């Protein structure tokens, strides 16, 4: 298949459903061989979507994908994921860190084990997968890393604080996304001379993914998922010497590059 990602391997985490699935499909449609990874390998009535379903839809559209089920909160499993991906299709040119675990509750009673899990999934795992990908990217003289972030990582205005910020329980979620954003900037700076682009992208408005629906964050779309997949495509194919170190929101970024008016 021809396209902007032809001949490239893309690893997309959390690609059994939601934004990860949509981004994986977009990259596959542009010619990438996509490594799909999440915990849900086979269809399960308890979950909306699976790796095999994503792979089948990509194949039906003429694309190529392989599936590797892992627990991304486990360091050894991340090592296994990367080793199996390299063995099956080669080291990735593109890494999309999308997988997430989110719990919302006030900070004064937030369980430590859940704080650690969210830090592992939103910060440690993306860093680890990027570290695993760097050697081959350096050897090729190119590479792209995209971290899926959120406007929740921005500091809330105040005081006075809005009713939402006082009661929504976004403290840990905002903290891990802010940490992801800072890590993105540092990786972009450190890898600039290697022509490895590292960026982060967030939907400007909520997208009604299965995960967001479970948390009552977005029951209906207020943003077309096409905007995040187009943003991902641009950030995963752009010139690493100019399009790196960006923390973007979809609509602002797509207006900047002339896709939206």
CA 175, CA 217: separation in Å to the nearest integer?
17
The verdict on residue 261 lying in a domain is: no
Residue 12, pLDDT score: 98
Global pTM? 0.93
- Whether residue 73 has pLDDT greater than 50: yes
CB atoms within 10 A of CB 250: 25
Model confidence band, residue 40 (pLDDT cutoffs 50, 70, 90): confident
- Whether residue 220 has pLDDT greater than 60: no
Q: How many domains does the chain have?
A: 1
The verdict on residue 125 lying in a domain is: yes
CA 115, CA 108: separation in Å to the nearest integer?
12
Model confidence band, residue 219 (pLDDT cutoffs 50, 70, 90): very low
The verdict on residue 3 lying in a domain is: no
The verdict on residue 199 lying in a domain is: yes
How far from each other are the two terminal CA atoms of the chain, in whole angstroms?
Answer: 30
Task: Kindly report, residue by residue over 94-114, the tens digit of the pLDDT.
Answer: 999 999 999 999 999 999 999
Residue 78, pLDDT score: 98
Q: Which helix (H) or strand (E) holds 95?
A: strand 94-97
The verdict on residue 4 lying in a domain is: no
CA 96, CA 209: separation in Å to the nearest integer?
17
The verdict on residue 142 lying in a domain is: yes
Model confidence band, residue 222 (pLDDT cutoffs 50, 70, 90): low
Average pLDDT of the chain to the nearest whole number: 94
Q: Which helix (H) or strand (E) holds 65?
A: strand 64-69
Q: Which of 211, 237, 261 is closest to 15 using CA atoms?
A: 211
Task: Kindly report, residue by residue over 133-178, the tens digit of the pLDDT.
Answer: 999 999 999 999 999 999 999 999 999 999 999 999 999 999 999 9
Residue 211, pLDDT score: 53
Least confident of 134-148, 175-189, 213-227: 213-227
Residue 43, pLDDT score: 77
CATH number at residue 251: 3.40.50.720
Residue 206, pLDDT score: 80
Catalytic machinery residues: 173
The verdict on residue 140 lying in a domain is: yes
Domain membership of residue 129 as a residue range: 9-256
CA 146, CA 98: separation in Å to the nearest integer?
8
Residue with more model confidence, 222 or 206 = 206
Calculate mean pLDDT across residues 22-48.
92
* 144: three-class secondary structure by DSSP: strand
Residue 7, pLDDT score: 97
Residue 44, pLDDT score: 73
Q: Is 159 left (phi over 0), alpha (psi -120 to 50) or beta?
A: beta
Task: Kindly report, residue by residue over 5-25, the tens digit of the pLDDT.
Answer: 999 999 999 999 999 999 999
The verdict on residue 167 lying in a domain is: yes
């Amino acid at each position: 298949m021809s396209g902007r990602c032809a001949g490239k391997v893309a690893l997309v985490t959390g690609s059994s459903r939601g934004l990860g699935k949509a981004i994986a499909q977009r990259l596959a449609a542009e010619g990438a061989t996509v490594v799909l990874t999440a915990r849900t390998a086979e269809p399960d009535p308890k979950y909306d979507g699976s790796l095999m379903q994503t792979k089948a839809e990509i194949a039906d559209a003429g694309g190529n994908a392989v599936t590797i089920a892992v627990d991304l909160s486990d360091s050894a499993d991340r090592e296994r994921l990367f080793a199996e991906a390299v063995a099956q299709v080669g080291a990735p040119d593109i890494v999309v860190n999308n997988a997430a675990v989110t719990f919302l509750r006030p900070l004064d009673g937030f369980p430590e084990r859940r704080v650690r899990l969210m830090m592992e999934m939103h910060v440690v795992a993306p860093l680890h997968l990027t570290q695993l990908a760097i050697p081959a990217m350096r050897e090729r003289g190119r590479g792209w890393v995209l971290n899926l972030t959120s406007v929740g990582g921005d500091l809330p205005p105040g005081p006075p604080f809005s009713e939402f910020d006082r009661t929504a329980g976004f403290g840990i979620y905002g903290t891990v996304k802010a940490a992801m954003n800072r890590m993105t900037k540092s990786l972009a700076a450190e890898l600039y001379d290697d022509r490895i682009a590292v960026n982060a992208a967030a939907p400007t408005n909520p997208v009604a993914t299965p995960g967001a629906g479970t948390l009552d964050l977005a029951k209906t779309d207020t943003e077309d998922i096409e905007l995040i997949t187009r943003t991902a495509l641009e950030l995963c194919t752009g010139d690493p010497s100019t399009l790196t170190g960006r923390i973007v929101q979809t609509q602002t970024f797509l207006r900047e590059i002339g896709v939206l008016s």
